[in-house]
Amino acid sequence: MKINADFNERVVLSTQELPWQDSPMPGVQRRMLDRDGDEVARATSLVKYAPGSSFSAHTHGGGEEFFVLEGTFSDEQGDYGAGTYVRNPVGSSHTPFSKTGATIFVKLWQMDPEDDKQVTHDTSKTHWFPGLVKGLSVLPLHNHGTENVALVKWEPGTKFQTHKHWGGEEIFVIEGTFADEQGVYPQGTWLRNPSGSIHTPFSEEGCTIYVKTGHLS
Which of 69, 102, 122 corresponds to the end of one domain? 122
Distance separating alpha carbons of residues 154 and 137, to the nearest angstrom: 7
Please indicate, yes or no, whether residues 80 and 146 belong to a single structural domain of this protein: no
The whole-number pLDDT of residue 5 equals 94
Query: 13 with 190: CB under 8 angstroms?
Result: yes
Please indicate, yes or no, whether residues 166 and 112 belong to a single structural domain of this protein: no
Question: 176 in a domain, yes or no?
Answer: yes
Please indicate, yes or no, whether residues 29 and 107 belong to a single structural domain of this protein: yes
Please indicate, yes or no, whether residues 88 and 158 belong to a single structural domain of this protein: no
Ranges of the chain whose pLDDT falls below 70: none
pTM of the model: 0.96
Distance separating alpha carbons of residues 52 and 7, to the nearest angstrom: 36
As a dihedral over the C-alpha atoms of residue 25, residue 31, residue 35, residue 41, rounded to 10 degrees, the angle is -20
Question: 193 in a domain, yes or no?
Answer: yes
What CATH number corresponds to the domain at position 188? Answer: 2.60.120.10
Query: 28 with 41: CB under 8 angstroms?
Result: no
The whole-number pLDDT of residue 144 equals 96
The whole-number pLDDT of residue 155 equals 98
pLDDT in tens, 146-174: 999 999 999 999 999 999 999 999 999 99
The whole-number pLDDT of residue 174 equals 98
Which residue(s) pair with 107 in the sheet?
Answer: 44, 65
Please indicate, yes or no, whether residues 102 and 132 belong to a single structural domain of this protein: no
Query: 174 with 209: CB under 8 angstroms?
Result: yes
Please indicate, yes or no, whether residues 112 and 132 belong to a single structural domain of this protein: no
Question: 116 in a domain, yes or no?
Answer: yes
Residue 124 in 3-state DSSP? helix
Question: 67 in a domain, yes or no?
Answer: yes
Question: 149 in a domain, yes or no?
Answer: yes
Domain of 202 in residue numbering reads as 127-213
Please indicate, yes or no, whether residues 23 and 117 belong to a single structural domain of this protein: yes
Number of domain units in the chain: 2
Please indicate, yes or no, whether residues 44 and 85 belong to a single structural domain of this protein: yes
The whole-number pLDDT of residue 38 equals 79
The whole-number pLDDT of residue 207 equals 98
Please indicate, yes or no, whether residues 111 and 136 belong to a single structural domain of this protein: no
Please indicate, yes or no, whether residues 144 and 92 belong to a single structural domain of this protein: no
